[in-house]
């Protein structure tokens, strides 16, 4: 905890610490509920047929939400030494997430390209690619500020929320994705990704309200990191159709085996 937290009355300090654990639980719940119709329910029912890479991807991303819960729980109990020890695992996990996220995006783009839906897939790939790159950037910033708990924990929260858009988007995809030949669900227009992003951003709004109620003001991290997240979510729409992004997707396809 920071010196400012130690100076607070005990009930207020405990409330702040426990808040981040509750936020971590909420993030985990959103992740599970979001992928329930397209991953968990078919998996339990034995009807899920996906490449092994998808399962590995799920292990890493759900592993992150579980680790985030564990870390916030340790911090709320004052077990800072153990929290820092697990931080090393967090670095390894987040690094794996970034590589896996990009690989899944490239692999998906290749499959749609082979099926004749390359143009739509090229545009929509900006959502997954910028999403995982933003997560990596936010996580990296959180590591840089590891000795400043007030900044560190807020950056970690925003980083985790940034990857929840994919979970929320699964519900939109169930109702909005266009079925293609052979039952393949085609990527929707990039603009469809904005609403799931805004829904996931409500978790950050919740944290900002908590800051306002407990600190008297919203911490600058939420304005800056949250603002960057919102900008990325909105700018994907016009950037996805540019020649520059098309060249990036060409490079991505060149990396695919």
Per-residue pLDDT band for 185 (boundaries 50, 70, 90) equals: low
- β-strand partners of 178: 186
Cα(16)–Cα(170) distance, rounded to whole angstroms?
32
Give the strand pairing for 178-179 and 185-186.
antiparallel
Asked if residue 193 lies in contact with residue 165, where contact means CB atoms within 8 angstroms, the answer is: yes
Per-residue pLDDT band for 173 (boundaries 50, 70, 90) equals: low
State the burial class of residue 188 (Cβ atoms within 10 Å of its Cβ: 0-12, 13-18, 19+): middle
pLDDT at 116: 79
What average pLDDT score do residues 41-50 get? 88
Higher pLDDT, 247 or 180: 247
List pLDDT tens digits, range 105-148.
Answer: 998 888 888 877 778 889 999 999 999 999 999 999 999 999 99
Q: In this structure, what are the phi and psi dihedrals at residue 79, rounded to the nearest 5 degrees?
A: -85, 65
- What per-residue string of b and e applies to 34-57 under the rule 16 or more CB within 10 Å gives b? bbbebbbeeeeeeeeeeeeebeeb
Helix axes 80-114, 243-255, angle to 10 degrees: 100
Nearest residue to 24 via CA among 72, 90, 94, 89: 72
Q: What is the pTM of this model?
A: 0.88
């Amino acid at each position: 905890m920071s010196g400012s937290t130690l100076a607070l009355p005990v009930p207020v300090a405990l409330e702040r610490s426990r808040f981040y654990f509750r936020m971590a639980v909420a993030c985990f719940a959103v992740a599970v509920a979001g992928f329930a119709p397209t991953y968990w329910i078919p998996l339990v029912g034995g009807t899920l047929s996906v490449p092994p890479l998808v399962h590995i991807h799920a292990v890493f991303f759900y592993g992150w939400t579980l680790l985030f819960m564990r870390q916030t729980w340790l911090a709320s109990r004052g077990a800072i030494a153990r929290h820092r020890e697990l931080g090393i695992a967090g670095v390894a996990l987040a690094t794996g997430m970034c590589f896996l996220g990009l690989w899944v995006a490239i692999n998906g783009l290749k499959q749609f390209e082979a099926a004749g839906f390359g143009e739509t897939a090229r545009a929509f790939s900006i959502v997954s690619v910028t999403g995982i790159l933003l997560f990596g950037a936010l996580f990296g910033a959180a590591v840089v500020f590891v000795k400043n708990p007030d900044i560190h924990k807020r950056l970690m929260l925003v980083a985790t929320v940034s990857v929840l858009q994919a979970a929320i988007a699964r519900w939109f995809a169930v109702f909005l994705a266009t079925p293609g030949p052979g039952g393949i669900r085609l990527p929707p227009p990039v603009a469809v990704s904005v609403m799931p992003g805004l829904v996931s951003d409500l978790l950050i709004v919740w944290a900002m309200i908590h800051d306002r109620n407990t600190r008297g003001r919203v911490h600058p991290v939420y304005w800056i990191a949250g603002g960057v997240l919102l900008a990325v979510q909105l700018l994907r729409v016009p950037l996805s159709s540019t020649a520059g992004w098309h060249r990036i997707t060409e490079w991505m396809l060149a990396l695919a085996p």
